Structures are given as C-alpha cells and as structure tokens.
C-alpha cells in the first residue's frame, strides 16, 4: 500500500485520518492544503512527513525560503520534516530539478527502510512476541516502515511473529493504523490499551519492543510518540530489549541531548472530544497534550539505522556506524 504516490505530475496522498474505515486519496494543490495535511495528520510518521514536504517544495510555486519555514512550522518535533525541506531548498539554490530531488528522497526512503528492516530482523527470532507503540510502518514512511519493517520483511521470509500494538492515545495510531497494516499483511496482531503494556510483558508475551523515532539526539536520547518512554521503562524493568528503528537522517547531531528537543503540544479536543459522541470531560477542564516524549538513552538496547546498529555509548557509536 502506497501512502504517497506521484504520478503524471500529480501528488496523491492516502488520508490517514480516515483509516481504517475508508481508503481515500486526496490531491493537495495549495500550500495551505499541504500545511493542513501535515498539521492534522492526514500524513504522519516522521519519514512520510519529510517525503510529502519534499514534494510540496517541488510543486508549490513562489518563495521557497518562506515555503520551507511555513511547512516546517506545521510540526516541530520530527527532524525529517526540516531535513527534507532543507535538502529541497539547497537543491533549488543549486538549480537542480526539484521534482527529481523529491522523487529521489522518496526512493531513498524505500532503500533505507529496507536496510533498517534487514538489520532489525537480524535481532529477532521466528515466533517472537513483539510490542509496538504508535505506527512506524509503511504508512509512516514509504515502504516496510522502520519499527514495523522487520516484521513485514520477516513475514516475506516465512517468520511468524505475534505482535501486540498499543492503541496509542490520544490519536490512536496503533489502533487505527498499525493493526490495519499488520492485518493486511497477514501478521498476527493483538490490540491493547496503552495501560496494558506492563501486563503483557509481565506475562512473558513480549520478546522485543520495536518503535520508530522522530528525532534522535547525539547522545542517543530519542523523541518519539507520547507514551513511548513509559514502554521503555517497563521494558527495562522486565528485561525486554527495547529497539528504536529510524533512518540515519533522524539523528540530529545539532541536538546534544533530549532536553534540547522541541516537543509539539496539540489541542485538548484530541483528548476530550475527538473520538466520542459526547465530551469525556467538562469544557472547563484543562488538558495537557504533548504529542511526543523523550526516551532516555539508558533505556534503549540499540538504535537500528540504515547505516548499521548503534549501541551505548551512543555519542560514539552513532558516529562510528557511518564509517563501518
């Protein structure tokens, strides 16, 4: 299933807000269409946002510096967005063909996801029980995905996995997207509420946790979907390996540690009203809705990238895997 398709000069985007009930492709035209699609998560997942923004930079006419700043402001945490728009701006300044550059970013992501999936699969065994949080599959990238990549590649190679997916409050990427993707791929998947991660680990059902990443600091602290650090703490407690899978471009060497990562805050309605017939809290009740949290590097067993597998100390290993 392709979430972003560029065909005959037109960009088609699978609207992820309608999944799993409807598979509808939209065709954004204006810069506001592109901005809104990123902001309200019609396209989401760090690498997919970057690919989509690259096409926006190629297809929207006008001042590219302003366009980049406008698109980057839609979602601040995932580094892939500003990484892709910076690369497109550089290509523009060098007089390159911007459509070709965007297509190359898209194709590169497919190659990176495949490598990440291969490295990730090398750490798993047939029959493993896996826990995942949010959605780091093909919908969040181009193909295979990052966190789900080893599972999809493993399925192609005859592995059987038993996957538990957290529903991932408040936007339910695990329920709406991960279970949908894995069901379609024929992989055994069981949906749990976020607060059930502990019991499935305690019951010995989980051999590894696989998650994606939105920004990786130089010291290996990782920003990821809200709730991920809680899963990492549980994994450490129960002795379950906790793996982060992401393209190498997710490593932000300008960020020394997780404290420097800007955390996106979203609207209270996502908690109080979005999925309910009636509001689930009083109108006057305050909500705090950070969209990401930071997992401390000490909780991470390995960071699996397209360049190789990094282990602590990450300050050293994240640089070293480039030269291996």
Q: At CA 95, angle to CA 94 and CA 101, rounded to 5? A: 85
Give 109-168 as a DSSP string.
HHHHHHHHHHHHHTT--TT-EEEE-S--SGGGSSSS-SSSHHHHHHHHTT---EEEEE--
163 binds ligand MRU (CB under 6 A): no
46 binds ligand MRU (CB under 6 A): yes
44 binds ligand MRU (CB under 6 A): yes
* One of 19, 81, 131, 136 touching ligand MRU (CB under 6 A): 136
213 binds ligand MRU (CB under 6 A): yes
Q: Please, which residue, 51 or 206, has the CB nearer to ligand MRU?
A: 51
Subset of residues 286 to 315 that bind ligand MRU, contact rule: CB under 6 A: 291
Of these residues, 128, 214, 221, 252, which one is catalytic? Answer: 214
CB within 8 Å of 112: residues ≥ 6 apart: 47, 247, 248, 249, 306
Distance in angstroms (rounded) separating the CA atoms of residues 198 and 234 = 6
Contact 135, 173 (CB under 8 A): yes
Instruction: Kindly report the backbone phi and psi dihedral angles of residue 128, in degrees, each rounded to the nearest multiple of 5, phi listed first.
Output: -60, 145
Tokens of 245: 């899978």
Distance in angstroms (rounded) separating the CA atoms of residues 276 and 172 = 13
Q: Please, which residue, 44 or 106, has the CB nearer to ligand MRU?
A: 44
Distance in angstroms (rounded) separating the CA atoms of residues 222 and 245 = 10
* One of 117, 146, 165, 249 touching ligand MRU (CB under 6 A): 146
Subset of residues 229 to 248 that bind ligand MRU, contact rule: CB under 6 A: none
Tokens of 182: 């894995």
Q: Which residue is nearest to ligand MRU (CB)?
A: 212
Q: How far is the CB of 210 from ligand MRU (least distance, A)?
A: 10
Subset of residues 47 to 106 that bind ligand MRU, contact rule: CB under 6 A: 47, 78
Q: Please, which residue, 173 or 305, has the CB nearer to ligand MRU?
A: 173
Residue 214 annotated to the active site: yes
* One of 85, 141, 142, 165 touching ligand MRU (CB under 6 A): 141
Distance in angstroms (rounded) separating the CA atoms of residues 126 and 323 = 31
140 binds ligand MRU (CB under 6 A): yes
Tell me the site size for ligand MRU, rule CB under 6 A: 19
Distance in angstroms (rounded) separating the CA atoms of residues 268 and 263 = 15
225 binds ligand MRU (CB under 6 A): yes
Please give the residue ranges that form the binding site for ligand MRU (CB under 6 A). Answer: 41, 44-47, 78, 134, 136, 140-141, 145-146, 173, 212-214, 224-225, 291
Q: Which residues belong to the active site?
A: 214
């Amino acid at each position: 299933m392709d979430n972003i398709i560029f065909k005959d000069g037109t960009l088609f985007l699978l609207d992820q807000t309608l999944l799993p009930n409807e598979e509808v492709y939209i065709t954004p035209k204006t810069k506001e269409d592109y901005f809104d699609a990123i902001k309200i998560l019609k396209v989401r997942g760090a690498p997919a946002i970057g690919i989509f923004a690259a096409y926006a930079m190629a297809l929207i006419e006008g001042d590219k510096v302003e366009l980049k700043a406008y698109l980057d402001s839609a979602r601040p945490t995932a580094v892939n967005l500003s990484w892709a728009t910076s690369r497109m701006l550089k290509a523009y300044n060098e007089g390159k063909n911007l459509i070709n550059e965007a297509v190359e970013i898209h194709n590169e992501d497919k190659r990176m996801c495949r490598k990440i999936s291969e490295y990730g699969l090398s750490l798993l065994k047939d029959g493993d029980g896996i826990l995942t949080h949010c959605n780091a599959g093909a919908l969040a990238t181009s193909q295979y995905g990052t966190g789900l990549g080893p599972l999809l590649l493993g399925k192609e190679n005859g592995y059987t996995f038993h996957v538990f997916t957290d529903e991932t409050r408040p936007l339910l990427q695990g329920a709406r997207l991960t279970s949908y993707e894995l069901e379609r791929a024929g992989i055994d998947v069981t949906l749990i509420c976020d607060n059930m991660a502990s019991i499935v680990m305690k019951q010995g059902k989980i051999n590894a946790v696989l998650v994606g990443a939105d920004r990786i600091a130089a010291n290996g602290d990782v920003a990821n979907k809200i709730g991920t650090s809680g899963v990492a703490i549980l994994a450490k407690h129960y002795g379950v390996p906790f793996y982060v899978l992401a393209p190498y471009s997710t490593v932000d060497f300008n960020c020394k540690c997780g404290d420097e990562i800007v955390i996106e805050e979203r609207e209270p309605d996502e908690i109080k009203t979005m999925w309910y017939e009636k509001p689930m809290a009083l109108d006057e009740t305050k909500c705090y809705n950070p969209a990401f949290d930071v997992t401390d590097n000490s909780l991470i067993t390995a960071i699996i990238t397209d360049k190789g597998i990094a282990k602590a100390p990450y300050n050293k290993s994240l640089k070293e895997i480039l030269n291996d």
